[in-house]
Amino acid sequence: MTIPGFILRNALRNKRRLALTVLSVALSLFLFTTLQTALRELTQPVTTEDAALRLAVRHKVSLASVLPDKYLSRIERMPGVQYVMRFTWFGGIYKDERNFFPQFACDADKLFKIFTEAQIDPKQLDDFIKEKTACVVGIDTMKRFGWKIGDKITLQGTIWGCDPELTIRGVYYGGIDNTNLFFHHEYFDELMGKLGLVGMFWIKAENAAVIPGLIDRIDTAFRNTDAETKTETERAFQLGFVSMFGNIKMLIGSISTVIVFTMILVTASTMSMAIRERAREIAVLKALGFDGRQIFGLILAESFGLAMAGGTIGCFGAWAIFSRMSSATLNKFSQGMLITFEVTPHILASGMMIAVLLGVVSCLVPAYTSLKATVVDGLKELD
């Protein structure tokens, strides 16, 4: 019998225990990979060249506070501003509360000039701009509900006391988030009785060089007013939004640490039982001339193989599942928090490195205990 065959025979001695241990490691590393991917998506939002030119202007106190509509004209006149538009979260219900998707009131003629990553047919865009009750919808949401151009939908207001009746005039795709619905801010204002309020403003700067000065000019202009502003880059705005949920990085890091520690305990327990059952066999190997390094190598190979099998199933299983998940499904399960969910090579490598360390660490104590035992003690173990 060859050495690899001997190791495999030992590993398969108790098939039920082997399967349960591999599945435990696989499930743990699947969870680890999922958590690390979620952490990456939340703390490292997708950015593009145009995104680096976008600024968000919101109320200084919180996102829940609104700004006066009259700020628009003052911001438009500031040096360095190429485009600026009003942008208000609507948050309505379509038929059922479970049918969640993001909805925003905006300035239709500025939307695709500021968010240039999104693509739309020019005729559809023209129809959207010209019709006050028109809306455009991301392609994923169109597919989710089976909508088509010309369909009429009604959104039931929850935050705002109005129910917009909209006609779908366009479909956009290719942007960072293909699940949104956008409709005219003018229509929203009309339904709300022209309150003159807006959730926030989005700005596209002329170039990157003007951004620091522009941020300072905007916030200075509205300082000491009833509605002071906080202007920040798109990336800073996204990270600030995530921070409202607490220290996500520490939370996910703590959970990941517990997962790794639990895996070590499970695998070490399995190896301890397996080695204890083979005390006589190990004593026979010693009697035949196998030294400590050779016996440790056999034990390490078994532990390493078990951990790597679980790691491969868990890490690459997560990659296989999430790489095939559509953005609409992801948006539904994350309630709009996550736009993409990419298991990167770095995350896969981290998961597999943990599997490697698990295979080594979990066999150290059982192997040391076994190697310390004398041949006589080993032969007596199962007599």
pLDDT in tens, 112-128: 999 988 999 999 999 99
Residues of the chain with pLDDT under 70: 1-14, 44-48, 176, 240-248, 273-292, 326-339, 367-383
Instruction: Quote the distance between the C-alpha of residue 51 and its chain's center.
Output: 19
Q: Quick one: residue 80, left, alpha or beta (phi over 0 = left, psi -120 to 50 = alpha)?
A: left
Q: Where are the domains of the chain?
A: 3-45+247-381, 66-226
- What's the chain's length in residues? 383
Helices (H), the chain: 3-11, 15-43, 71-76, 108-114, 122-130, 139-145, 185-191, 211-221, 234-243, 248-277, 279-288, 292-323, 327-334, 345-372, 375-381
Residue 328: its pLDDT value, please?
A: 62
The pLDDT value recorded for residue 335 is: 55
Helices (H), 167-210: 185-191
- Quote the CA–CA distance of 57 and 218 in Å, as a whole number: 8
Tell me the Ramachandran region of residue 180: left when phi exceeds 0, alpha when psi lies from -120 to 50, beta otherwise. Answer: beta
Identify the CA nearest to 28 among candidates 263, 251, 342, 322.
Answer: 263
pTM: 0.66
pLDDT at position 70? 93
Instruction: Sort residue 58 into left (φ over 0), alpha (ψ -120 to 50) or beta.
Output: beta
Rg of the chain over Cα atoms, rounded to whole angstroms, equals: 30
Specify the pLDDT at position 383. Answer: 45
* Residue type, position 305, single letter: G
Strands 181-184 and 134-138, bridge-based pairing: antiparallel
Number of other residues whose CB lies within 10 A of the CB of residue 247: 10
Q: Going by C-beta distance under 8 Å and a sequence separation of 6 or more, which residues neighbour residue 93?
A: 99, 155, 156, 158
3-state secondary structure of 39: helix
Which two tokens mark 379? 């032969």
Tell me which amino acid residue 185 is.
Answer: H
Strand-pairing partners, residue 230, are 58
Residue 47 pLDDT: 62
